[in-house]
Amino acid sequence: MPGPLEGIKVIDVSAVVSGPLAAMILGDQGADVLKIEPPGIGEVVRLPNFERGGLTSLFINCNRNKRGVALDLSKPEGQAVMHELIKDTDVFIQNWRPGAAERIGMGPDTLRGINPDLIYCSISGFGPTGPYAGQRVYDPIIQGLTGHAGIQMSPDFPIPDLVRNIVADKSTSYTAAQAITAALFARDRGAGGQLIEVPMIDASLAFFWPDGMIKHTLQNSAELRGNSLYETYRLWHTQDGQIIYFVASQVEHEGLFRALDHPEWIEDTRFATTESRMNPDNAEVLGALLDEAIRGFNTETLLQRMSDNEVPSGRVLTLEEVFDDPQIQHNGSILEFDHPSAGKYQQAKPAAKFHGTPQDPRRRMPPLLGEHTEEVLTELGLSAAAIEELREKGVL
């Protein structure tokens, strides 16, 4: 069995990351995913940017385990083909702006009218209605609106900044994939097909909220004492690099003081308890002492001392060093592939390991534009002559 979603058919007409990554997660888990793109250049992330042999890095990383179909949905003939495909499809994923699907006959009412059991997932920036609904949007704008950028500040340089990866898009992808599998489960229990709407702004805010809004969860909490996680996160400089450590318990704090060769801090009334360390004046003094002590060690020595004292810690790896990390190597976290035209490339494996229905990330490589068009249309029952006629009309 190639994965827990074997037998599920997905049509992915989305672009860039929020929809394609969600569909790839389903494909990794065994679903048959059809990647529908317009003929010509295909979707936008096929445009040359770290490109080789017809594939770009970003396209590769969001479109594994899919079959590629080039189909012009702006033409009536292309819409007719899609309507035929929908008849035996389980999931349809799009991330067009509100109203775009309806204009080309791909709205939820139309497609679910053809197939009432269809799970229709609509991903958008802000949702189908509201003051921002019609605006174009990308990940960094959502970051700014949901608090991510507002707390992204180093204590040394307290200026808001962006998270330098597309955290809003990716959190939306995982939200959509989970919602789709939940809807499939509900359908199996008699709920039928349904429409799922996933606004990026909502997915990103929900992802941010558990820790990012600690200060703003309890209303009227200005008088309550406490520290938010984003105020405690920081990098520390050693003699020859940087480390990260994080201590949450009294035992871990005491281990940190021992690791830094300052066991006397355990008895210092300013630092001895959680309550005393939360005092702003004491926290400022302790921070300066920690910085000075950490700078007195080289990275390797300090990490070993922290490990010996059970202090959660680690080095700050460059992107190149990630590949050589012993735990990542032990887990087999990075997979290598060899594509016929794009050559060798590497990707992170799916994180979840299914012991009863193992998923296979190597089942299908990312498709070239329209690579499986004829295969899919033949399965649909179109003759070679009919396929050639569509090709001549520019539909394929």
- For residue 1, the model assigns a pLDDT of 64
- For residue 44, the model assigns a pLDDT of 95
Which CATH superfamily is 236-315 part of? formyl-coa transferase, domain 3 (3.30.1540.10)
Give CA separation, 236 vs 12, 290, 304, in Å: 44, 9, 15
**SS3 track for the chain:** CCCCCCCCEEEECCCCCHHHHHHHHHHHCCCEEEEEECCCCCCHHHCCCCEECCEEHHHHHHCCCEEEEECCCCCHHHHHHHHHHHCCCCEEEECCCCCHHHHCCCCHHHHHHHCCCCEEEEEECCCCCCCCCCCCCCHHHHHHHCCCHHHCCECCECCCCCCCCCHHHHHHHHHHHHHHHHHHHHHHHHHCCEEEEEEHHHHHHHHHHHHHCHHHCCCCCCCCCCCCHHHHCCCEECCCCEEEECCCCHHHHHHHHHHCCCHHHHCCCCCCCHHHHHCHHHHHHHHHHHHHHHCCCCHHHHHHHHHHCCCCEEECCCHHHHCCCHHHHHHCCEEEEEECCCEEEEEECCCCCCCCCCCCCCCCCCCCCCCCHHHHHHHHCCCHHHHHHHHHCCCC
Confidence (pTM): 0.95
Highest CATH level, class, for 9-209+332-392? alpha beta
What backbone phi and psi angles, to 5 degrees, belong to 202?
A: -75, -45
- For residue 179, the model assigns a pLDDT of 98
CA angle 18, 20, 22 (to 5 degrees): 70
* pLDDT in single tens digits along all 396 residues of the chain: 689 999 999 999 999 999 999 999 999 999 999 999 999 999 999 999 999 999 999 999 999 999 999 999 999 999 999 999 999 999 999 999 999 999 999 999 999 999 999 999 999 999 999 999 999 999 999 999 999 999 998 777 788 899 999 999 999 999 999 999 999 999 999 999 999 999 999 999 999 999 999 999 999 888 888 888 888 899 999 999 999 999 999 999 999 999 999 999 999 999 999 999 989 899 999 999 999 999 999 999 999 999 999 999 999 999 999 999 999 999 999 999 999 999 999 999 999 999 999 999 999 999 999 999 999 999 999 999 999 999 999 999
Domain-wise residue ranges, the chain: 9-209+332-392, 236-315
Asked if 257 and 286 count as a contact pair (C-beta separation under 8 A), the reply is no
